[in-house]
Amino acid sequence: MPFTYYQGFILPRRYGLSHQKFSPWLNDRAKASGLSFLLSLALVNLVYWLLENFPDSWWLWAAIALIILSLILTRLTSTLLLSLFFKLEPLADKRLRRRLVNLAKRAKAPILGVFTINLSSKSTTANAMLAGWGGTRRIILTDTLLQKYTPDEIEVVLAHELGHHLHKDIFKIIVLQAGMILVGLYLSNLVLRASLVPFGFQGIADAAALPLLFLFMAVLMVIVTPLINAFSRRVEVSADETALELTSNPEAFIAAMTRLTNQNLSVADPGRWVELLFYDHPPYTKRVNLAKRYGLNLVREVRD
């Protein structure tokens, strides 16, 4: 909690990324923590029930349960989870809405509608997303994006999100997560069995082994996170390329990336190791260079 308070409240206010007062911030953290606690409690109880009743295959059934939960949460993001923290309203600008809907049609992404959230009530950052999937998929723009960005810039930011749809990136990420969950729980099963004698546990369902299980999963995440980030950066580059192809507007892309980097106080050109270990998106300089190369290719095509 002290680290959450410092990272989530003190630092954003110090650098102008947030103007939320302590009481509303604490209320948001309470809602997020409450939801996380209930889900974690249910999952831990399920895992230990499986350990007791299916000691040889508990990891497989637990993985299936986690994958199903992940799919449900993905579907509910735009309808339930966001509404717990923000006010969701249809986009009032009819011309911009029509433009974004037409862009989604070109990308063959059926959507429920275009909505805004009142991010400015808490933060000065900006973003856009294509949230949900199936019948709940919708375009969501932050009001901070609408306030400071041109229609061209908003279109290219959304085109990036639509690139993920065209490449079926959500499906790829779900498959990757499913594989990681399966491998992680299988390795956890091996660790639990190997720890019985050294630690004197009465069995793999012994609740005294829970801290060891959490510790192992944490160490595993530290190891695999750079690999996940590498995959994510490749996916994001492909989405950037699609955004440029859908809009043919590298100038708007560069302008939007510049505004986002400045507004969100992102590091434009991090060190190589910092990028490899921590970045799940390409840094600003690489995204701008990609757009510049695309612009040069456009000029050559016109000349030819």
What is the spatial distance between Cα 225 and Cα 231, in angstroms, rounded to a whole number?
Answer: 10
> Whole-model pTM?
0.84
In tens, the pLDDT along 110-132 reads: 787 888 989 888 999 988 888 77
What is the spatial distance between Cα 217 and Cα 183, in angstroms, rounded to a whole number?
Answer: 11
What is the spatial distance between Cα 35 and Cα 28, in angstroms, rounded to a whole number?
Answer: 11
In tens, the pLDDT along 210-240 reads: 999 889 999 999 999 999 999 999 999 999 9
What is the spatial distance between Cα 22 and Cα 86, in angstroms, rounded to a whole number?
Answer: 17
Burial of 177 (0-12, 13-18, 19+ CB in 10 A): middle
Q: Is the pLDDT higher at 134 or at 268?
A: 268
> Residue 209 in 3-state DSSP?
helix
CB 230 within 8 A of CB 153: no
CB 253 within 8 A of CB 156: yes
- Computed over its alpha carbons, how large is the radius of gyration of the chain? 22
